Amino acid sequence: MKHFDNLTQEKLQYYVYALIDPRTKQPFYIGKGKGNRVFEHVLGAIKGSPESEKIDTINAILNSGNSVKHIIIRHGLTEDEAFKIESSLIDFTNFFGKNLTNEVLGHDSFKFGLMTADEIISTYNAQPLKALHHKVIIININGSYERAKGGVSIYESTKEAWVIGEKRLPTLKYALADYRGIIVGVYLIKDWYKVMLPGSKRVRWGFNGEEADEKIKALYFNKSVKHTKKQGAANPIRYIL
């Protein structure tokens, strides 16, 4: 099995690497690490690591009689530099449809990751949301989205599980996802379902939904609700501005 000797490891410091499928000559995984981290994925597959898209790809390569190609993209980095380069490469590669097998986005991708120029403008110069034109629930997803480190979609972070009065549910038509004071998702609510979290006897609710149509989204999407928040407010749910 390939490995770096101690002197090489010392010179490499932190590095960013890619695993390449020799059959397609395309990267299927991008990571950061130090020491022999780059080789541990193949070793894990050989030793029977739990199934994942990455492990399945490695096994398919090995079963075809080929070997995974290991590319060191940058080395001599600090850990923070490696995090940022890894995250940038994952965002960039996924944007162009290369379908990496990374299970989560890179470090801080949810905060500083790939955006269009229009999204940057909206994030840092978003117009305030001045009125609600429908019966909506505004759900702050800071906690749920950041705990997942970008590994789930905005919709998945918004749809469950929330403490809501059951009598109110039929009146709510749209869900607005509030992330760091910006409305980043607008969803038409189709139906509600109960969610029981492990160790809790309190009923919470989730919804099935779909993206609202463009006319509705235009009213709310990328608008700021920072001006409406009360200092110290902890409840992630609101119904009014």
Structure confidence at residue 29 as a pLDDT band (50, 70, 90): very high
- Give SS3 for 18: strand
| Domains of the chain in sequence order | 6-104 (3.40.1440.10), 117-238 (no CATH)
pLDDT digits (tens, 9 = 90+) for 197-233: 888 888 999 999 999 999 999 999 989 998 887 655 6
pLDDT at 217: 94
The angle formed by the CA atoms of residues 127, 132 and 134, to the nearest 5 degrees, is 140
> Taking residues 85-113, what's their average pLDDT?
74
Single-letter amino acid code for the residue at 87: S
What's the distance, Cα to Cα, between the start and end of the chain in Å? 60
pLDDT at 112: 58
Residue 31 DSSP class: E
pLDDT at 105: 57
Kindly list the strands in the beta sheet with 26-33, ordered across the sheet, starting from the edge strand earlier in the chain.
Answer: 26-33, 14-21, 69-77
| Whether pLDDT at 74 is above 80 | yes
| Whether pLDDT at 145 is above 80 | no
Neighbouring-strand partners of residue 139: 177, 237
Tokens describing residue 229 = 């928040």
Q: Is the Cβ–Cβ distance between 230 and 182 less than 8 Å?
A: no
pLDDT at 154: 87
54 contacts: CB under 8 Å, gap ≥ 6: 19, 28, 29, 41, 101, 102, 103
Instruction: Return the residue matching tokens 């407010």.
Output: 233
Mean pLDDT of the chain: 88
CA 20 from chain centre, in angstroms, equals 23
Instruction: Give the integer Cα–Cα distance in Å for 105 and 87.
Output: 7
Single-letter amino acid code for the residue at 165: G
Q: Is the Cβ–Cβ distance between 180 and 157 less than 8 Å?
A: no
pLDDT digits (tens, 9 = 90+) for 118-138: 667 667 788 999 999 999 999
Instruction: Give the integer Cα–Cα distance in Å for 171 and 226.
Output: 25
> Taking residues 53-64, what's their average pLDDT?
96
pLDDT digits (tens, 9 = 90+) for 155-180: 999 999 999 999 999 999 999 999 88
The secondary element (H helix, E strand) that includes residue 12 is: helix 6-12
